Amino acid sequence: MAVVATKAIVLNTIKYSDSSLIVKCYTLQSGLTSYLLRGVLKSKKGGLKAAYFQPLTQLSIIASHSEKKTLHHIKEVHVSNPYKTIYKDIVKQSIVLFLAEVLSYAIQEEEPNTNLFSYIETAFTWLDVHDNVANFHLLFLFNLTQFLGFYPNVSEKDKLGFNLLEGNFTNSTSQKNTIYKNQFYQFKKLLGINFDAIENVSFSKQERQTVLKIIIRYFELHLDGFRTPKSLQILEAVFS
């Protein structure tokens, strides 16, 4: 049994019995880790509270990790970066629910990855303090592919289309899983930009949905077992 002090980002929670939760976190020190929080739903006093474990909350925890078990225990927790707007704003809340679900499916490596952790932490801190966020989820997912190992090879971005399966730009637009013309034009708007530049990128409602579907397809082709998030419908309703 090892005691670990680490930053953690909540990915999802599952109710376990009447009073307990299983929480999946992405941690700085240990990568993907699941914790059993016994009695947290009935807890009235200090200590662990269920409210700490909302999707993508940024925590500092002290936990006991056992090599023999898949579920570990959190001893102490506090919110390391309390969001000011995310849980009060319906648009941001919908984006966070959707992206938490995507991350739950997409992060499959158990090992820690400090660059990926830092990217997630920085991105949601940015989301919390900005207002013009309608395209945030598109750029977040697009740039997430850098850390998952399938960011588009941009050296030939002037070609006519993009092959989602191969992850490269191509002139043979008749191949399966290749986007070209307007789909390709919209997809390319996200290339090489950071969150501060997202306000200068314009998508109509229709274009935004098109690009999101392309990105989800891209993830499905590159990640085993990745599936379309259930919360996609909520996100589409918020932006419609």
Considering the domain architecture, whether residues 118 and 8 belong to the same structural domain is answered as no
Could you tell me where the beta strands, DSSP code E, fall in 152-191? 161-163, 168-170, 178-180
Q: Which of 47, 79, 111 is the last residue of a domain?
A: 79
Q: Has residue 156 been placed in a domain?
A: yes
DSSP per residue over 53-65, as a string?
GSTT-EEEEEEEE
Q: Has residue 72 been placed in a domain?
A: yes
Q: How many C-beta neighbours within 10 Å does residue 174 have?
A: 8
Question: Domain total for the chain?
Answer: 2
Considering the domain architecture, whether residues 66 and 95 belong to the same structural domain is answered as no
Is 190 within 8 Å of 144 (Cβ atoms)? no
Q: Which of 52, 79, 106 is the last residue of a domain?
A: 79
CA 71 to chain centre: 22
Q: Has residue 107 been placed in a domain?
A: yes
Q: Which of 45, 79, 113 is the last residue of a domain?
A: 79
Q: Has residue 84 been placed in a domain?
A: no
Residue-by-residue pLDDT tens, the chain, 240 positions: 899 999 999 999 999 989 999 999 999 999 999 999 999 998 666 678 888 999 999 999 999 998 888 999 999 999 999 999 999 999 999 999 999 999 999 998 889 999 999 999 999 999 999 999 999 999 999 999 999 999 998 888 899 999 999 999 999 989 999 999 999 999 999 999 999 999 899 999 999 999 999 999 999 999 999 999 999 999 988 887
Considering the domain architecture, whether residues 143 and 234 belong to the same structural domain is answered as yes
Q: Has residue 85 been placed in a domain?
A: no
Considering the domain architecture, whether residues 174 and 120 belong to the same structural domain is answered as yes
Considering the domain architecture, whether residues 108 and 30 belong to the same structural domain is answered as no
Considering the domain architecture, whether residues 52 and 103 belong to the same structural domain is answered as no
Instruction: Tell me whether residue 56 is exposed, middle or buried, using C-beta atoms within 10 angstroms of its C-beta: 0 to 12, 13 to 18, 19 or more.
Output: buried
What residues have CB less than 8 Å from 159, skipping those under 6 apart? Answer: 169, 170, 171
Q: Which of 3, 59, 65 is nearest to 35 (CA)?
A: 65
What range does the domain containing 26 cover?
A: 2-79
Which DSSP letter does residue 26 get? E
Q: Say which amino acid occupies 132.
A: N
Considering the domain architecture, whether residues 149 and 212 belong to the same structural domain is answered as yes
Considering the domain architecture, whether residues 132 and 175 belong to the same structural domain is answered as yes
Question: Taking the complete model, does pTM exceed 0.85, yes or no?
Answer: yes
